[in-house]
Amino acid sequence: MHIIGLMSGTSLDGIDLAYCEFTDERHFQLIAAETYNYPVAWRERLASLHRATAEEYVKTDAELGHYFGECIMHFREKHPGRVDCIASHGHTIFHQPEKGFTAQIGDGNAIHAVTGVPVVYDFRRLDVALGGQGAPLVPIGDRLLFGEYDCCINLGGIANISYEIDNERIAYDISPCNMALNHLAGLTGMTYDAGGELARNGEIITPLLARLETLEYYHVPAPKTLGKEWFEKNFLPYLEPYSSQPVENLMRTVSEHIALRLADSISHSGDNTHRVLITGGGANNQYLLELLKEKIGTIDIESIDNRIVDFKEAIIFALLAYLRLNNQNNTLASVTGASRDSSGGVVCGQTGF
């Protein structure tokens, strides 16, 4: 089955498209992959949408779906071939599973209208309805596609971890990652800190680091997830008293904090953890990886095909659609805390399955 996976992360660093061929649920080939950067107008619109009116929210949901469809059509012109399905994560605007809701926009009906291809979208809400966190969803892909690694970490807007203990998949969100770093980079007019060089030139603000380490979320047992709302309500207020500090110092402190949280999570993944796979945009932050390596000692951080590092989430959402269309579970209750495993995702324009 040939599937295009679409992922738009909370860090707003672009729309990832991954064109994959699946021979079964454990074997795939990545045929092509690209990132489409958001125009400034879309970045600003999505960044503020959680404060908009209900009408603007619904309008944006439809228009973003059409925009996703246009990006996919452009991608298909460059990479022609059979496509059986599009798997769209969409873009998260609200994520409050403790209140019983989560919302990823980019209407799958609009994507189908533009592309003419069946679409699987809205992967998270069934799990939330079953009492789960609705996230993370990537761990089933870690198990099926990357099971040779002891531990998988994704460094996106939010950092998360996935590992196996006693044949049960454990996963949870660790801490903010690029969401925080990109916010700080934005104070200098940059969209991100390339390679972590700003952070490298800063100094740790010791009182700030100590406060960040006390955040209550880190002491709550899994399953647990983070969202933009939590970041704005709980993380940003800790930075505000230090707004007069050089951005380099803030960046250095937050990078240290992220590295400490990552190392702590790895330490809880089991005594047999030797191989760690790190993917996502933060895998290109060399300074953050250096800080992490200092803290985990002999554990190996392993590299793979750079395209998989950058597009792993889009690949795995393509896998989730494959599982959904083949009536297999694609969401693990051991990860999300739901009442049962499930096969999430709304199917639009389905033909021939």
Q: Phi, psi (5° rounding) for residue 149? A: -95, 145
Q: Exposed (0-12), middle (13-18) or buried (19+): which is 203, by Cβ within 10 Å?
A: exposed
Q: CA 100, CA 125: separation in Å to the nearest integer?
A: 9
Q: CA 108, CA 87: separation in Å to the nearest integer?
A: 9
Question: Structural domains in the chain?
Answer: 2-132+332-348 (3.30.420.40), 140-307 (3.30.420.40)
Q: CA 228, CA 289: separation in Å to the nearest integer?
A: 24
* pTM score: 0.88
Contacts of residue 333, Cβ cutoff 8 Å, sequence gap at least 6: 130, 132, 339, 340, 341, 342
Strand 275-279 to strand 300-302: parallel, antiparallel, or no bridges (unpaired)?
parallel
C-alpha closest to that of 329 among 109, 132, 93: 132
| Predicted confidence pLDDT, tens digits, the chain (353 residues) | 999 999 998 778 899 999 999 999 999 999 999 999 999 999 999 999 999 999 999 999 999 999 999 999 999 999 999 999 999 999 999 999 999 999 999 999 999 999 999 999 999 999 999 999 999 899 999 999 999 999 999 999 999 999 999 989 999 999 999 999 999 999 999 989 999 999 999 999 999 999 999 999 999 999 999 988 999 999 999 999 999 999 999 999 999 999 999 999 999 998 889 999 999 889 999 999 999 999 999 889 987 888 888 899 999 999 999 999 999 999 999 999 999 999 999 999 975 55
Q: Exposed (0-12), middle (13-18) or buried (19+): which is 191, by Cβ within 10 Å?
A: middle
Contacts of residue 84, Cβ cutoff 8 Å, sequence gap at least 6: 1, 2, 3, 117, 118, 352, 353
Q: CA 320, CA 122: separation in Å to the nearest integer?
A: 11
- Alpha-carbon torsion 307, 313, 314, 315, what sign? positive
CA angle, 328 then 280 then 272, to 5°: 75
Q: CA 164, CA 147: separation in Å to the nearest integer?
A: 9
Helix-helix angle 178-186:247-267, to 10 degrees: 180
Contacts of residue 310, Cβ cutoff 8 Å, sequence gap at least 6: 16, 33, 35, 279, 280, 281, 283, 284
